[in-house]
Amino acid sequence: MQQEIKIEEPDFRIHPKKVVLWVSMVSIVMIFAALSSALMVRQGEGNWNYFKMPPMFWITSGLILLSSVTMQWSLVSLKRESFPNLVTGLWITALLGVAFLAGQFMGWMELVNMGVFFRDNPSNSFLYILTGLHGLHLIGGLIAVIWVLVKAILFRYRANKMLGVELCATYWHFMGALWIYLFLFLLYHYS
């Protein structure tokens, strides 16, 4: 009798929650791409208000980049099953997320002090809409970070059970990258 050799094929299936997250992120990209295109078309029509970005937006850019580092540290900590570092990294990420949102609001106050109001000029409206819409999406990410933090405190994650942290980290990094794109895009179109 000949023994049959069984060759295991790699499993290329992707978890359905990851698919949903990626489809959601593509949808978000499409929203911001449409708004970016609309901004460029409207700017080309003239009557565009040029001004310097509020200094606070530079600070918030640093905060979001730093929060991405702490989120990645959390993910790596979980892979190493270093649970205190996982919790600490998620706490710091959440605090930096709150600081980012507070800084964005302070940036809006700087705009108001510069005389840049939402309704005065279409260029102003685009700036508030783009930054506000990003802020709303970041609030969703912050809720996810807090949810994952609570589950981490309750020891619900392990190196072989980390889907929630992976999804949260992917979305958080995406929000950081989206802000950097928006900030550079706005710098170019308003300065």
Residue 60, in any domain of the structure: yes
Residue 76, in any domain of the structure: yes
For 55, other C-beta atoms within 10 Å of its C-beta total: 11
Residue 3, in any domain of the structure: no
Residue 4, in any domain of the structure: no
Count: domains in the chain: 1
- The CATH number of whichever domain residue 161 belongs to comes to 1.20.120.80
Residue 20, in any domain of the structure: no
More confidently predicted of 9 and 129: 129
Q: How does residue 191 score in pLDDT terms, banded at 50, 70 and 90?
A: confident
Residue 143, in any domain of the structure: yes
pLDDT at 4: 73
The whole-angstrom separation of Cα 135 and Cα 183 is 13
- Scanning the chain, the segments in alpha helix (DSSP H) are 16-44, 55-79, 83-113, 122-153, 163-190
Residue 97, class by beta-carbon neighbours within 10 Å (0-12 exposed, 13-18 middle, 19+ buried)? buried
pLDDT at 123: 94
pLDDT at 1: 56
Per-residue pLDDT tens digits for 37-63: 999 999 999 999 999 999 999 999 999
Q: What is the mean pLDDT of the segment spanning 170-188?
A: 98
Q: How does residue 7 score in pLDDT terms, banded at 50, 70 and 90?
A: confident
Domain that holds residue 146: 51-190
Residue 56, in any domain of the structure: yes
pLDDT at 8: 72
Residue 9, in any domain of the structure: no
pLDDT at 2: 64
